[in-house]
């Protein structure tokens, strides 16, 4: 890697932006699906803890796989993403509560997480296409 500091700063910035945008998406999706809008601070906390838990599961799993001389194949990666999805939904289900204090519920939390994942996939796809375009323009 040519510029490790730049890569680290880019990663930290990406995570921070992802959490901030994710909190807005949580508010939007919860309002749309459940009829209430959680406080922004609660949404940020839920997004942060859900992402950290999901990342932690993937990190620990990859270490265990690597230490056992296993390969992290596409199917293993997909399985870890699915597990992370459900763990993140679990955090949303008990952290997001309506004004009366009733929790969101796991089914709706899964839908909130699905909306968040869909928006992230579209955004990452757009960034990937822009990067490919920039590479093509720099070569041409």
| Per-residue pLDDT reduced to its tens digit, 52-110 | 888 888 788 877 777 777 766 777 778 888 898 999 999 999 999 988 999 999 999 99
What is the residue range of 71's domain?
A: 4-139
- Max alpha carbon distance in the chain (Å)? 60
Would you call 103 helix, strand, or coil by DSSP?
strand
DSSP H stretches of helix in the chain: 4-34, 40-67, 74-95, 106-139
- pTM, full prediction: 0.80
Q: How far apart are CA 133 and CA 140, in angstroms?
A: 10
Altogether, the residues listed in the chain come to a count of: 140
- Read off φ and ψ for residue 111, nearest 5 degrees: -65, -40
Please state the domain count of the chain. Answer: 1
């Amino acid at each position: 890697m040519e510029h490790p500091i730049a890569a680290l700063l880019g990663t930290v910035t990406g995570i921070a932006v992802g959490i901030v945008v994710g909190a807005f998406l949580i508010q939007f999706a919860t309002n749309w699906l459940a009829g209430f809008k959680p406080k922004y601070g609660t949404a940020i906390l839920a997004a942060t803890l859900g992402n950290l838990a999901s990342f932690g599961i993937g990190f620990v799993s990859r270490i265990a796989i690597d230490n056992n001389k296993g390969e992290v194949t596409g199917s293993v990666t997909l399985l870890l993403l699915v597990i992370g999805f459900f763990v993140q939904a679990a955090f949303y289900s008990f952290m997001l509560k309506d004004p009366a204090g009733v929790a969101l519920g796991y089914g709706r939390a899964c839908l909130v997480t699905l909306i968040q994942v869909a928006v992230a996939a579209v955004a990452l796809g757009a960034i990937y296409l822009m990067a490919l375009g920039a590479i093509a323009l720099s070569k041409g």
